[in-house]
């Protein structure tokens, strides 16, 4: 396997974040990192049947979500946006209930959290975001949809159709592609013609922005600018955040079968948490005491969420039938009777 070095940052740049904001976002990134580690452990212990890690993508997720207006905007995630959920204040026990297979899409309230149900369909959240954005505009409101997807999903027809529709109708959407370099086991160069997702934006009549996805400030600034543009009637923007999936695609994946360890080591030097810390130290936004306190605080938060989802009760089996149709259907009633006889 050839070694693929990280690309040199090309890019939308930004100055340091305000100190208070930098400290808040660092805590969110650190909590996400620690909770991700706890979630992997829960899968290894058999509590979760499966889990998808976000390690390495914390800046791309926290930086973009923190730019949103939680009173107006709405995020449409895939199955990997745990740090987006955390940033938007989603009930994280309810979020992780989906990974424990307690409830499809999670047990949190999407309407109050402004975070749509977890979507495991590759490219699936993108047309949903465009539909919501068009509805928001028809209602005379100023909310903007933020749609998350990966570099692999960028090759799906749903994504192309949704971005074309958004461009034609000038929909208020920010498309955030987290290009983590691998579509499961397929590298960028084997599935992205031309090598750039952002470059495709011109074909849909919208700006395409490439940003260093491991630079917290740059992601935040690019997303804030795109949100303001959409809110002012300027239409959609496509942001390609160049980052790296540090862990396997999921807990059932084995990167040693397709990825060179030297590549992983090279990207480890660009760890977004280390870069955020270095930027804060350089700007004087935080000192050693802050980082020590953040470590303890974030670890405690991750452990509380871990314990909460581990102890969450399983939903009643009748939910399989109660939430299918608004009015009872005869065939479903028959299935329920069979199920009740089998579980007695």
Q: What does residue 182 show for φ and ψ, rounded to 5 degrees?
A: -135, 125
Residue 327 and residue 299 share a domain: no
For the four alpha carbons of 318, 323, 327 and 330, in that order, the dihedral sign comes to negative
Whether the CB-CB separation of 42 and 309 falls below 8 Å is answered with yes
* Containing structural domain, residue 271: 19-313
3-class SS at 107? Answer: coil
Going from the C-alpha of 63 to that of each of 54, 70, 100, 234, the distances in angstroms are 14, 14, 27, 22
Residue where the block lists tokens 């977890």? 118
SS (H, E, C) 205-265: CCCEEEEECCCHHHHHHHHHHHHHHHHCCCCCEEEEEECCCCCCCCCCCCHHHCCCHHHHH
Residue 253 and residue 144 share a domain: yes
Which residues participate in catalysis according to the annotation? 245, 249, 258
Residue 332 and residue 238 share a domain: no
Residue 332 and residue 255 share a domain: no
3-class SS at 144? Answer: coil
Residue 326 and residue 249 share a domain: no
Residue 335 and residue 284 share a domain: no
Task: Please tell me what DSSP assigns to residue 174.
Answer: E
Whether the CB-CB separation of 285 and 16 falls below 8 Å is answered with yes
Residue 97 and residue 41 share a domain: yes
Residue 334 and residue 221 share a domain: no
| 9 belongs to a structural domain | no
pLDDT tens for the chain, 344 residues: list them: 444 444 444 566 678 899 999 999 999 999 999 999 999 999 999 999 999 999 999 999 999 999 999 999 999 999 999 999 999 999 999 999 999 999 888 899 999 999 999 999 999 999 999 999 999 999 999 999 999 999 999 999 999 999 999 999 999 999 999 999 999 999 999 999 988 999 999 999 999 999 999 999 999 999 999 999 999 999 999 999 999 999 999 999 999 999 999 999 999 999 999 999 999 999 999 999 999 999 999 999 999 999 999 999 988 888 888 888 888 889 999 999 999 998 87
Residue 257 and residue 322 share a domain: no
3-class SS at 128? Answer: helix
| 162 belongs to a structural domain | yes
- The per-residue pLDDT for 309 is 96
Question: Helices 272-283 and 58-65 sit at what angle, rounded to 10 degrees?
Answer: 60
Give dist(CA 118, CA 302) in Å, integer: 20
| 1 belongs to a structural domain | no
Residue 176 and residue 128 share a domain: yes
Q: How many domains does the chain have?
A: 2
Residue 147 and residue 41 share a domain: yes
Could you tell me the CATH number of the domain that includes residue 178? Answer: 3.40.50.970
| 189 belongs to a structural domain | yes
| 237 belongs to a structural domain | yes
| 127 belongs to a structural domain | yes
| 2 belongs to a structural domain | no
- The per-residue pLDDT for 9 is 40
Torsion (CA) 12, 13, 17, 23 in degrees, nearest 10:
70
Give dist(CA 242, CA 209) in Å, integer: 11
Residue 224 and residue 334 share a domain: no
| 64 belongs to a structural domain | yes
């Amino acid at each position: 396997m050839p070694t693929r070095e990280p690309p040199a940052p090309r890019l939308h740049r930004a100055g340091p974040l305000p100190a208070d904001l930098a400290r808040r976002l660092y805590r969110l990134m650190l909590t996400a990192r620690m909770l991700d580690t706890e979630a992997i452990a829960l899968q290894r212990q058999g509590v979760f049947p499966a889990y998808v890690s976000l390690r390495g993508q914390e800046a791309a997720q926290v930086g973009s979500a923190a730019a949103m207006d939680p009173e107006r905007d709405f995020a449409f995630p895939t199955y990997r946006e745990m740090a987006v959920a955390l940033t938007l204040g989603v009930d994280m026990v309810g979020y992780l209930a989906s990974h424990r297979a307690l409830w499809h899409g999670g047990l949190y309230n999407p309407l109050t959290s402004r975070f749509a149900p977890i979507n495991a369909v590759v490219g699936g959240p993108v047309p949903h975001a465009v539909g919501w954005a068009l509805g928001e505009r028809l209602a005379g409101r100023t909310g903007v949809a933020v749609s998350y997807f990966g570099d692999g999903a960028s090759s799906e027809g749903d994504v192309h159709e949704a971005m074309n529709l958004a461009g034609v109708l000038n929909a208020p959407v920010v498309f955030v592609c987290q290009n983590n370099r691998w579509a499961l086991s397929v590298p960028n160069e084997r599935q992205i013609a031309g090598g750039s997702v952002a470059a495709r934006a011109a074909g849909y009549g919208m700006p395409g922005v490439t940003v260093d996805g491991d630079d917290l400030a740059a992601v935040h600034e690019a997303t804030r600018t795109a949100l303001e543009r959409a809110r002012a009637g300027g239409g959609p923007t496509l942001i390609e955040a160049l980052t790296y999936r540090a862990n396997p695609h999921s807990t059932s994946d084995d990167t040693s079968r397709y990825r060179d360890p030297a590549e992983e080591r090279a990207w480890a030097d660009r760890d977004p948490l280390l870069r955020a810390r270095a930027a804060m130290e350089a700007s004087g936004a935080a000192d050693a005491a802050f980082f020590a306190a953040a470590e303890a605080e974030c670890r405690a938060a991750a452990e509380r969420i871990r314990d909460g989802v581990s102890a969450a009760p399983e939903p009643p089996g009748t939910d399989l039938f109660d939430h299918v149709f608004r009015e009872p259907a005869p065939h479903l009633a028959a299935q329920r009777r069979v199920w009740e006889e089998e579980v007695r």
